[in-house]
Amino acid sequence: MPHTDLTANIVTFCRLLRAHGLPLGPGEQSDALRALSMIDIGDHPQFRGALRTLLAKDQPQQAVFDLCFDIFWHQAAEDQSTRPPELPPPQRQAPPAMKVENHQAPLAGADGDDDPEADEMAMVPVYSPTESLVHKDFSGFTASELREVVEIVNMIARALANRVGRRRQRHGRRGMLDLRNTIRRNLRHGGEVLDLQYCNRKPQKLRLCLLMDVSQSMDLYSHMLVQFIYAFQNAYRNIESFVFSTSLYRVTDLLKHHDFQAVLQAISEQVPGWSGGTRIGASLQSFIDDHGTSLDRRTVVLVMSDGWDTGEIDQLGKAMRTIQNRAAAVFWLNPLCGTTDYQPTCRGMEAALPYIDVFAAAHNLASLRALGRRLAAV
């Protein structure tokens, strides 16, 4: 059901921001509502500026805010030919606000990850025609739909990079005021603030290695996943990216090009075996031999593959064991894992599974969103 008052819309907008990595809680929502009571809601720059100041604390968060704001408020305003809702006077019924489509979409981590906000954030409305594609399998996308969701993929990658790169640690006596944990800690006092909680930036030492399968069996997913690692590469600094089929190819420098179509063309032309056979074991062994010195307990390795291997299966198992022993964690993202009847019974997946810390889907936008919370937990 569409929300019809300002408070509900602000709460829902904060949930959208939180779903894309911004650390917002009840305190920020209350501050936003109080601030809006002091400005002219009909003044668009004031309305946007007040929310942006309170809800986005730095440049990466502001970039996510700008995209979400356009999706939530601008699209709804255009569709309904309305403006942002006016704040109701005290003791009066709130006037109708803009309507939004109430498609249900699970947030990152809502598919089984433990989180204190999971029940609250499990389902939330989404706000544009693009979001109706959030659960559609990439293999079924038309060319026009691929173009339509590119910005959403980029936004997810930026939000994911922000989430991984902006983790904080609690501190007892100094640092930034941790408003969310302060509120939770003081609930026992009836809401009276007696015990302040603080947090500092957590030193970020996490490195990422992305290894993507671009063999023929991955053709239906390659374009969108390359788009994802391209956006991720340009949003997160401490990262190395590779693609493989019958052999491994480092594409970190190629992905820094400003034009994605040029990147895609360069990779397809320069990578041996693009859309050909698959030798996962040999490719992973090549990664260990040539880049293994970069693996340590601060490195997370992400393999994107369906697990179909025409090479030596024993070599795949040995390579995976070596990578897991050296890295902080090994993620395996399999597009086929998103189907309800999927079982990892192919020989490649059976050999790799004992050495995988997180085995997850990578077949639609929702699965890419879910990756953020899993990475942030490493």
**Partners of 303 in the β-ladder:** 211, 332
**Quick check: is 142 in a domain?**
no
Q: What is the 3-state secondary structure (H, E, C) of 106-121?
A: ECCCCCCCCCCCHHHH
The predicted structure's pLDDT at residue 210: 95
Q: Which residues contact 259 (CB under 8 A, 6 or more apart)?
A: none
- Angstrom distance (rounded) from CA 186 to CA 196: 8
Domain count within the chain:
3
The predicted structure's pLDDT at residue 84: 39
The DSSP 8-state label assigned to residue 285 in this structure reads H
- Residue 218 and residue 328 in one domain: yes
Nearest to 138 by CA among 251, 219, 235, 255: 219
The predicted structure's pLDDT at residue 96: 33
**Quick check: is 265 in a domain?**
yes
- Residue 184 and residue 252 in one domain: no
- Residue 278 and residue 342 in one domain: yes
- Angstrom distance (rounded) from CA 115 to CA 121: 10
- Residue 236 and residue 344 in one domain: yes
**Quick check: is 34 in a domain?**
yes
Q: Which two tokens stand for residue 308?
A: 């179909």
- Domain interval for residue 311: 207-376
The predicted structure's pLDDT at residue 104: 29
**Quick check: is 159 in a domain?**
no
- Residue 190 and residue 220 in one domain: no
Are 87 and 51 contacting, i.e. CB atoms less than 8 angstroms apart? no
- The values of phi and psi at residue 169, to 5°, are -120, 145
- Residue 192 and residue 230 in one domain: no
- Angstrom distance (rounded) from CA 235 to CA 218: 24
- Residue 217 and residue 256 in one domain: yes
Among 112, 134, 156, residue at a domain's last position: 134
For the chain, the first-to-last Cα distance in angstroms comes to 37
pTM for this model (two decimals): 0.60
The predicted structure's pLDDT at residue 157: 82
Q: Which residues contact 267 (CB under 8 A, 6 or more apart)?
A: 214, 226, 243, 249, 251, 254, 274
- Residue 102 and residue 180 in one domain: no
- Angstrom distance (rounded) from CA 262 to CA 254: 9
b (16+ CB within 10 A) / e for 60-96: bbbbbbebbbebbbebbeeeeeeebbebeeeeeeeee
Q: Which residue matches tokens 């609250």? A: 120
- Residue 195 and residue 211 in one domain: no
- Residue 181 and residue 61 in one domain: no
The predicted structure's pLDDT at residue 212: 95
**Partners of 299 in the β-ladder:** 207
Nearest to 23 by CA among 56, 68, 48: 56
- Angstrom distance (rounded) from CA 210 to CA 345: 24
- Residue 95 and residue 191 in one domain: no
pLDDT < 70: residue spans in the chain: 1-5, 74-132, 163-177, 179, 186, 188-194, 200-205
- Angstrom distance (rounded) from CA 197 to CA 203: 19
- Residue 323 and residue 226 in one domain: yes
The predicted structure's pLDDT at residue 100: 29
**Quick check: is 259 in a domain?**
yes
- Angstrom distance (rounded) from CA 248 to CA 289: 11
